[in-house]
Structure 1
């Protein structure tokens, strides 16, 4: 008799933690990752994204400046910064002094002739 009472009490308490059958549970989040998500995200990929970037259009996972920094951080392959929800550490390319010098030359060239509309506060910028 005592085992039946304990069993009934256990089942009643366990059923309190079972979700309702009619509760709506989202099955998939409506979030699109960037073009280079889960792919090599090196300087070539960033340059490709930069060439496709439109500063006049709203910033999104497909429209962002991959070279823009925010609070001294660089974005991932979807334009998300460390500390923000859905940030994913990108697959990074090789690094060497020679590669870094070539990237610096590209950065200097970009700084010398920015895209039209690229200014702090533009729709396509984080800053």
Structure 2
């Protein structure tokens, strides 16, 4: 009789053993958003093509000494190998929106590469890790 009871309860124990644990996901969201921006609005190019011209416009308006916001961020900054969206948010952060990217060809990629090389050689004054307008 005890054997039959044990046999009847065995599938229940197996289900609990195979169920996903909340332990593995505990704190994952808070880790991704630990240093995420806390602003609620979206950038001026939201729902538009996130082109090099639009990035240049945001970069020209960017003030590294002011706090980071949806309109005050470096669109060429990377965080964990990722580029920000049109509002300065990175993948994995709250309210991130995958940007609409323009069509590319070799000539445009070459133009973008030369611009980025020039940009890295001549950063804006105040553009340093830890500045209020920087994510890094």
Into which bin does the TM-score normalised by the smaller protein fall? 0.7 to 0.9
1: CA distance, partners of 2:105 / 2:134: 29
CA shift, 1:111, in A, is 1.0
**Equivalent residue for 2:106, pick from 97, 108, 121:** 97
More helix by share: 2
CA shift, 1:93, in A, is 0.7
1: CA distance, partners of 2:97 / 2:123: 28
Aligned residues: 98
RMSD: 1.0
1: CA distance, partners of 2:78 / 2:58: 15
Aligned to 1:75: 84
Aligned to 1:4: none
Alignment deviations for residues 25-71 of structure 1 (CA, whole Å, 9 cap, x no partner): xxxxx821001000111111001100100000001111000000000
Aligned to 2:72: 63
Q: Could you list the runs of 5+ residues in structure 2 that have no partner in the other structure?
A: 1-38
Alignment deviations for residues 51-107 of structure 1 (CA, whole Å, 9 cap, x no partner): 100000001111000000000000000001001110001111111111111001100
TM-score norm. by structure 2 comes to 0.70
Following TM superposition, the consecutive aligned residue runs of length 4 or more in structure 1 with deviations greater than 2 angstroms are none
